[in-house]
Amino acid sequence: MKEPKISPPREHKVARRSFLKGAALGSVALALPSRDADASIWDAFFQKHFREMNDKELKKVLKRLEQEYAEKYGVDIDISANKPLSGVLFGYGLDLSRCIGCRRCVYACVGENNQSRDPQIQWITVLRFKKGDKWVNDLENADKYYNPDKVPEEGYFYMPTQCQQCENPPCVSACPTQATWKEDDGIIVVDYNWCIGCRYCMAACPYGARHFNWTGPGIPKDEINTKTHYLGNRPRYHGIVEKCTFCIQRTRNTPGRYPACVEICPVGARKFGNMLDPKSEIRYCIENKRIFRLKEDLNTYPKFFYFFAT
Ligand code: SF4
Ligand code: SF4
């Protein structure tokens, strides 16, 4: 299939990424902002790494981004940047015996996390398997495009996949600019202003969990979720990579709140919580169900646990 053409850098964020990408790929064609560029363009160009910014610097960056989004989308977008809470390590459970393959989780995730509608980006993929098949690790050849009149279908079962929030994430070690990393609460995040779009992380991820923005995201203005997190659902840019963050804007900003996919699931197939809390539902599942993790042989140690309730 012919890959969509990427147009030349247009925005100052892109100028900085082009510069870094040139450096990462050993190119000498480095794109600096012009000498008479606006001050905010230089501010963006020299933005520090998220983890190195102090509170004042971070506040300034968030303000600049909110202004940029307001100009671009014509709506006020609130960007939070809450840090991980101590004593929290998030984990996720999925009960395969309950999932009916309805894809409500997919669409709830799209809305909550400002995923592009056109072209479509979906962080959750629901796979369909025939009962009795030797299955789950062959994610690439599984049926993602099933489209029956009614679900669930006789003789099939469904397995939703998304970022497995690996404890030992190969995507992180593949990134040449440290634009992706593991936070203390276990969520693997991407800084969209540091990502250079080289897609090494996509090649390294064994779960197909990362998605590339071939164009800028197409989101109708009246459907934008304006409550966002810097490392989560704020609108992304052309030429960067994105993925599930366990709805960081919900689960970190409002402790105890579920990700959108957990909240929407009509059959309670999805479980989520703090694995360090012995009373949490996720901990109960891990301790009492017959759990397994995808591609365990790769030693990625996903914090995403599948099980059969019965
Ligand atoms: S919403 Fe629940 S039942 Fe429907 S596909 Fe997602 S996990 Fe399965
Ligand atoms: S599933 Fe892929 S993107 Fe997610 S943490 Fe693991 S390697 Fe990284």
Q: In the structure, what pLDDT confidence band is assigned to residue 28 with cuts at 50, 70 and 90?
A: very low
Give residue 42's pLDDT band: very low, low, confident or very high (50, 70, 90). Answer: confident
Task: Report whether residue 105 contacts ligand 1, using a CB cutoff of 6 Å.
Answer: yes
C-alpha atoms less than 13 angstroms from C-alpha of 276 in its C-beta half-sphere: 9
Q: Which two tokens stand for residue 72?
A: 């671009």
Probe ligand 2: pick from 171, 183, 185, max atoms within 8 Å of CB? 171
**Minimal-distance CA residue to ligand 2 atom 2:** 205
Distance 204 CA to ligand 2 centre (A): 8
Ligand 1 atom nearest 108 alpha carbon = 1
Reply yes or no on whether the pLDDT at 216 is more than 50. Answer: yes
Q: Are 252 and 82 in contact (CB under 8 A)?
A: yes
Q: Is the pLDDT of residue 182 over 80?
A: yes
Strand-pairing partners, residue 230, are: none
How far is 52 from 19, CA to CA, in rounded Å? 20
Among protein residues, the one with the nearest Cα to ligand 1's atom 2 is 265
pLDDT at 12 over 50: no
pLDDT tens, position by position, 115-142: 999 999 999 999 999 988 776 678 888 8
> Which whole number is the average pLDDT over 145-171?
97
- The pLDDT of residue 272: 98
pLDDT bin (cut points 50, 70, 90) of residue 13 is low
| pLDDT mean over 280-290 | 96
Confidence class of residue 5 from pLDDT cuts 50, 70 and 90? very low
The pLDDT assigned to 40 comes to 67
The confidence score (pLDDT) of residue 21 equals 57
Going by C-alpha positions, the residue among 244, 280, 286 that lies closest to residue 95 is 286
Over 60: is that where the pLDDT of 22 sits?
no
Residues 64-69 have a mean pLDDT of 96
> What is each CA distance from 68 to 77, 200, 222, 238, in whole angstroms?
10, 28, 18, 15
Q: Which residue among 104, 129, 263, 306 is best mutated to probe the pocket of ligand 1, counting the most ligand atoms within 8 A of its Cβ?
A: 104
Average pLDDT for the chain: 90
pLDDT for residue 227: 98
